[in-house]
Amino acid sequence: LCKVYNFTKYLSEYESIWRLQKHLQNECWETKKAGGPTWDSLILVQHPHVFTLGRGATLDNVLLSEHDNHLPLFRVERGGEVTYHGPGQIIAYPIFDLDMHKRDLHWFSRSLEQTVIETLKKYGIQGERSDLNAGVWIGNKKISAQGITASRWITIHGVSLNVSTDMSYYKKIVPCGLNSSIAGVCSISSLSQSSNVTPEAVANDWLSSFSSIFNLS
């Protein structure tokens, strides 16, 4: 069983969704600890402009100027370097009990990548994995970034997918710690010939991919 929270029709503040993730993770753990049946939760959302740092990320990759003081920056529990979230980008936050799937974070990460790859196929785009780091790539351009962690095998944080993102905001950071001479970023709208490239439409297709890859109901 999976509870879906699809908030992609509007923008949700990062901090409120972060609190929701931790609440759902704790709720799942308390149920699990009591011996009751647990369930998965999946949040799909768009955020206003925001930057996040992984727990061990360096500030050297943050290029914000004094004119960017209005842009929030959060350090969170996930792994990885700095990344950007904003309008036109969907983020999927799966709060999954891996005891109900597979106790393997590498498998979980690869499965998340596969949900993106399957979704991109619906828009005529061939996504690939890269040895550079986790996520989904189109050549040397990243279309989907990932940062996850787990406590007691219950996951938190997740994976982003650029749909119609304003890519100029990526110039304010070194995305995932990868210099622009090595890698860039891209979006579905910049690559697809489809006329139905909206966050809401892509979110529905992504939900279908999650259901298939993780055998959700």
Q: What is the pLDDT of residue 164?
A: 96
User: What are 45's strand-pairing partners?
Assistant: 91
pLDDT at 133 over 90: no
Pairing of β 50-53 and β 73-75: parallel
181: pLDDT strictly greater than 80: no
What's the rounded mean pLDDT across residues 16-40?
Answer: 96
Query: Given pLDDT bands bounded at 50, 70 and 90, which one contains residue 26?
Result: very high
The reported pLDDT for the residue numbered 11 is 98
Instruction: Give the residue, 194 or 94, on which the prediction is more confident.
Output: 94
What integer pLDDT is reported at residue 63 of this predicted model?
94
C-alpha span between 55 and 147 (Å, rounded): 10
Give the catalytic positions in this structure. Answer: 176
Please state, rounded to an integer, the average pLDDT across all residues of the chain.
94
Cα separation of 198 and 194, whole Å? Answer: 10
What pLDDT was estimated at residue 78? 93
Whether residue 132 is predicted with pLDDT greater than 90 in this model: the reply is: no
| CB-based burial, 16-53: b 16+ in 10 Å, e otherwise | ebbebbeebbeebbeebeeeeebbbbbbbbbbebbbbb
pTM over cut 0.85? yes
pLDDT band at 131 (very low <50, low <70, confident <90, very high): confident
CA 25 to chain centroid = 17
